[in-house]
Chain A
């Protein structure tokens, strides 16, 4: 936010650029809001749903149609429990968001 004050238009010629920026900020907020709505809507629209993963659903399909299929490899390591798994997923997201935010927020190349 401090950026906005630091970049007040110093001359009239810079004003259109700033207006362009507020316009794009508005568009970005709108787009993110729409994406959030799309993701949140199922929680309201399908209240009884379990929201289990599609990867598991596919595995169940295979198991149902081909009960004789023997899984021939298992993961080298599995997170011990749901909590550790969600920790590692959060870590993955944090690494990604950190990188992305760092680059976007950096002022110089």
Chain B
């Protein structure tokens, strides 16, 4: 889902930065308040940050014959709400842009929007919906994490299709092409991410019970 440095026209790069910035600022405020009010949440917060760090570092093979990586943003979105993930996701994307030449600073806004805003919000909404429907919590976590992961790659496809519409098929034609690259590859990886998120959630829940907090 990383749009590479310089691979969005300047207008698009700027627009996505403007769109993403308020989410990150609001998230930073929420994060600050949360840590002040509930200092004990810091450890779980560190776990959510660790989860997205490790998962987004793993480039996994998919049935399409390409590699892609999960995002790991669903866990934190469920536990702390999507605004907090805007901050944690941005940290991951900055690490990768600066040290790995993965993504970039001009495309940071677009990448933040797909991975740190859209994915967490979709995950959180699915989680709430599952709760309202009375689904078992593990099923809700699985659906939230998987669909949040897929949403991130869907948004990347839309971003690229907007910037590079197809000569013949226009936006829709380009979207089909980019989604063919990103979304298809992502389907099995999103399922795997959903399963692993359930395990991480179980482990954190068990820790919570054990520590009595």
Mark A residues whose CB is within 8 Å of B: 21, 24, 27-28, 31-32, 34-35, 38-39, 41-43, 45-46, 48-55, 57-59, 61-62, 65-66, 69, 71-79, 85, 88-90, 92-93, 95-104, 106-109
From A28, A42, A48, A102, B63 is in contact (CB under 8 Å) with A42
Mark B residues whose CB is within 8 Å of A: 1-7, 9-10, 40, 43-44, 46-47, 49-68, 72, 92, 95-102, 104-106, 156, 160, 164, 166-167, 174, 177-178, 181-182, 185-186, 188-189, 191-192, 195-196, 198-200, 202-204, 206-207, 210-211, 213
**A109 and B92 alpha carbons, distance in the complex (Å):** 25
Contact (Cβ within 8 A) A71 B55: no
Beyond contacts A55-B2, A55-B3: 16 other A-B pairs, Cβ-Cβ < 8 A, are A38-B192, A39-B188, A39-B192, A50-B65, A54-B68, A54-B186, A57-B66, A58-B178, A61-B160, A65-B164, A76-B98, A88-B100, A92-B92, A93-B54, A96-B72, A104-B203
Contact (Cβ within 8 A) A95 B7: no
Contact (Cβ within 8 A) A54 B66: yes
From B63, B92, B101, B191, A46 is in contact (CB under 8 Å) with B63
CB distance from A51 to the nearest CB of B (A): 5
Contact (Cβ within 8 A) B59 A65: no
Contact (Cβ within 8 A) B200 A51: no
Contact (Cβ within 8 A) A39 B61: yes
Contact (Cβ within 8 A) A38 B101: no
**Helix, strand, loop or mixed for chain A's interface?**
helix
**A88 and B174 alpha carbons, distance in the complex (Å):** 33
Nearest 9 A-B pairs (CB), nearest first? A96-B53, A99-B50, A96-B54, A49-B65, A73-B6, A100-B50, A92-B57, A75-B101, A103-B47
**A59 and B61 alpha carbons, distance in the complex (Å):** 19
Q: A34-B195, A69-B164 are in contact. Are A109 and B177 (CB under 8 A)?
A: no
